Structure 1
């Protein structure tokens, strides 16, 4: 009679609280004092075609070719954890901090490999004639203006540069253009994602903060965000603070908004088939009292620097809705993010892309600066869930960074959240990273600093700060479970203070599948088993008839009546169940 075995090949990653993770450190390819290796990290997908996901690591304080603090970005091979290639600044400058922010923006060239945008918030940009920026500064030198470049993900070759469309004055101190970058989605219909960049210190009108006294209507550091065509780099749209939320006095000298201090491309939140954008105004002042609105002089009830998030329509740039801090607090900087998430995804199953926001200096029961994070509905901005520090403490700054992940294979995206500094007993600034269930907000896994990397407080020692950067990089060890990376940029290595270190958390599944069950169905024999980590659809089977060697059995087996079939379940990590036998009658 003919006998067949059912072969389970699950599509997707899965892990459980029982999944063990081993830690693999990656040291800086160019060890330096205060280099701050791994201050930024970003998942890249497969860059080199070996079917293993790769990732980027930025070192904005690295000295390159004797130029101090010019910065560098590395593409890391997920299979070997070695360097694929390095990207140097196209315009190296002292203290420019190339790699201050990085964002994998999608495939801009059509080669099916994601490309990367790299920003520096301290680049001097010369817009005048004659001598370039130098000392003394000529007219036309926009000091610390910031800049961004887009590079080919496969080769690291420069594609184009992006400049602040609203350049600030000659003496302007840091417009911060390029300090936040995100993928805006395809707004033009060319199947290439656009790029959104924040300039949170832009004055509106441009450069008015350089004039003394401030001219009427000047809003210092109000901030802006800009959307650029992903193919050409041309400016598509400017996003400004809504008129209703600007200082009623017309002129604003401080806490005027800082729009662009976080940018996201969460996807289509209003179902018009055009992706929308989320932009944060971290220093937005929110009025909670009675009487005059926030202005000068400030009345009682003005939460200065509380922050507000805005969701802009991808169709026309109008504001769809805004989101406020669920726990109003002055100085909370609500919505500030030090990571480049696209979105937590659709966590409540209503078909809308949902939104993430943190309050990394939000006060809590443990005290000031405990930190907190929230998930809001993409359908109008209502609060869906709160995320809490598993071990709350004063100054823990929970929620500092976030990446989307799929941890437990319930078809709902989960959140990989970092906190920095976060102290542990006997050590300072240890930090930590955690995986939370996207559906319930429950803690699924803690990935924390190894004891060997902990540091005691000393003069000038910030502690390692694990979780300053994090990325859910996918399955790089090919065991069917998600792997993670996290930066500890202030880790002291050897004699080098703040040299930095990157930790790779590799899933280490040691749990055996259950013994297979064998059942008859007409002319066939079917196998099934379960796995505590990967679920049954992740399993494959090995079987034989009689005493022959076990072999992969996804096809029908021809056996004679009276034969004995033997079967074993194997998970993607290679763990094997015990062998089960059944005599065919």
Structure 2
């Protein structure tokens, strides 16, 4: 039987001391089961040229509201991420719309982009547990909502913040019990207006009679005034022109990422169908790609990818969950972005749930299977060995960490055992780009017992369960934040933490690495 491990998404902030690693604390107090860093996004919220980090804490208690959720924000600088000016946001902050309530899970997902084209990144925060009063007067629990906080020269502010759900204005569909609107987010310019747009996963959306948890994605477009309902879209597997058919428990929209996979300047959207059955193979998983156009996302040319797709290595197998993680970046072929698809429950040979990652390369005509790659811990030249339950591919982040000008790939192995039999301590593989895509040359493995890395590998830490990248400062290369969402902070169990490794000309290095958590 395949093991199921709850994996959270993470992102954190840090200060760099170039000559040593260090631990830093952020606003609020580390508490049991907060799971700091369960979601993450990187964006320049104050326009100073350095990426800032937003770390979701969806199980944060706000006053008496259990699991209301919060987001910590830390700002980048020439010296890297700095605690100065760090913020804590929740639904009781300032004039933020709505109120912090039990089980809202504010911060379960986050995405950063410039929705109003004012030169400052803005932050979208998912609260999939939000109860929303529907237009018919029904209080729909776990309907879900998304909050938008706008950037400024002073950083994120509550001025003009927005609160979106499926009964907002003309937003498609309607608020319903258990939909979980906001369970996943992705932001990019899908329509070429130069304003970023927002894709919102509604992973438990019911479509028609009996199609419970079939899943859907709402798309809200950006404008000079920010996110708007004008021209909004509602995508699912029964949308005209979209391959396949909506089915019970497919979970379309479980994961989202955006990248420019084709020849034009518009971003495209990749959508995971987590539980999709392929040819009768239950839970094999699939990924839809919906391409951008001058009028926004369009079904024209849309694609459906899975492990039985022509030219894709391996084959669809029961409960592989192809698409359990996604990333997009230019990994070395051409100038288009490429799509990275995690399959953490992939069996490698006879090794159950060892995990694997597919890379599908982008060309002028879009994503093509020719030349696609399959990576795992038994791939030639890759360090370490595939072991049962490692979950290689449980998280992904792609950015230029060094060595070349192309993006490199960080792969979370959240349930990797550390040396000495430390179960599920977690690790991160880094595979660097070459002229023809990713190459094993110079690949590295990091964990909390790596030389110079802050803290120590411990039982059930799940280091690398969340990954995100951004140029936080110090050098011209991107840096990597690795979530340790069940890290014990002092005596506080599962409070959560994030390790930050900084990029350099020769790739990620331990020099100046950081260890972030909420103040115990």
| TM-score for the superposition, normalised by structure 1 | 0.69
Alignment-derived partner of residue 553 in structure 1: none
Alignment-derived partner of residue 166 in structure 1: 173
Q: Does 2:36 correspond to 1:37?
A: yes
Contact 1:400/1:420 (CA < 8 Å) preserved in 2?
yes
Distance in 2 of aligned mates of 1:281 and 1:387: 21
Task: Quote the offset at 1:479 in angstroms.
Answer: 4.1
Alignment partner of 1:178 out of 154, 178, 182? 182
Contact 1:185/1:275 (CA < 8 Å) preserved in 2?
yes
Structure 2 SS opposite 1:441: strand
Contact 2:132/2:175 (CA < 8 Å) preserved in 1?
no
1:423-572 paired onto structure 2 within 5 Å: 423-424=417-418, 425-438=420-433, 439-442=437-440, 444-450=443-449, 452-456=455-459, 463-476=460-473, 478-506=474-502, 533=506
Going from structure 1 to structure 2, the CA distance change for 1:348 and 1:219 (only over 3 Å counts) comes to same
Going from structure 1 to structure 2, the CA distance change for 1:80 and 1:258 (only over 3 Å counts) comes to closer
Contact 1:148/1:178 (CA < 8 Å) preserved in 2?
yes
Q: Over aligned residues, Cα RMSD in angstroms? A: 2.6
Task: Quote the offset at 1:50 in angstroms.
Answer: 4.7
Q: Does 2:338 correspond to 1:354?
A: yes
Going from structure 1 to structure 2, the CA distance change for 1:66 and 1:53 (only over 3 Å counts) comes to same
Alignment-derived partner of residue 259 in structure 2: 266
Alignment partner of 1:103 out of 107, 111, 123? 111
Q: Does 2:109 correspond to 1:117?
A: no
1:151-550 paired onto structure 2 within 5 Å: 151-153=149-151, 154-157=155-158, 159-164=161-166, 165-167=172-174, 169=176, 172=177, 174-187=178-191, 189-205=192-208, 208=209, 218-230=210-222, 231-234=226-229, 236-242=232-238, 245-246=244-245, 252=247, 254-255=248-249, 257-267=250-260, 269-287=261-279, 302-315=280-293, 316-325=298-307, 326-337=314-325, 341=327, 343-345=328-330, 347-349=332-334, 351-365=335-349, 367-378=351-362, 379-382=366-369, 384-389=372-377, 390-391=383-384, 392-424=386-418, 425-438=420-433, 439-442=437-440, 444-450=443-449, 452-456=455-459, 463-476=460-473, 478-506=474-502, 533=506
Q: Which runs of 5+ in 1 are unaligned?
A: 1-19, 130-138, 209-217, 288-301, 457-462, 510-531, 535-572, 574-585
Contact 1:485/1:502 (CA < 8 Å) preserved in 2?
yes
Distance in 2 of aligned mates of 1:330 and 1:419: 20
Contact 2:469/2:479 (CA < 8 Å) preserved in 1?
yes
Structure 1 SS opposite 2:157: coil
Going from structure 1 to structure 2, the CA distance change for 1:474 and 1:280 (only over 3 Å counts) comes to same
How many residues are treated as equivalent by the alignment? 435
Distance in 2 of aligned mates of 1:190 and 1:440: 32
Q: Which runs of 5+ in 2 are unaligned?
A: 1-17, 92-96, 167-171, 308-313, 378-382, 513-520
Going from structure 1 to structure 2, the CA distance change for 1:371 and 1:28 (only over 3 Å counts) comes to farther
Structure 2 SS opposite 1:437: strand
1:323-344 per-residue CA deviation (whole Å, 9 max, x = no partner) reads 112431111111122x7x4x12
Contact 2:117/2:196 (CA < 8 Å) preserved in 1?
no
| TM-score for the superposition, normalised by structure 2 | 0.77
1:76-95 per-residue CA deviation (whole Å, 9 max, x = no partner) reads 12345315222112431111
Going from structure 1 to structure 2, the CA distance change for 1:276 and 1:482 (only over 3 Å counts) comes to closer
Distance in 1 of aligned mates of 2:480 and 2:262: 32
Distance in 2 of aligned mates of 1:156 and 1:21: 34
Greater C-alpha radius of gyration: 1
Task: Quote the offset at 1:244 in angstroms.
Answer: 5.4
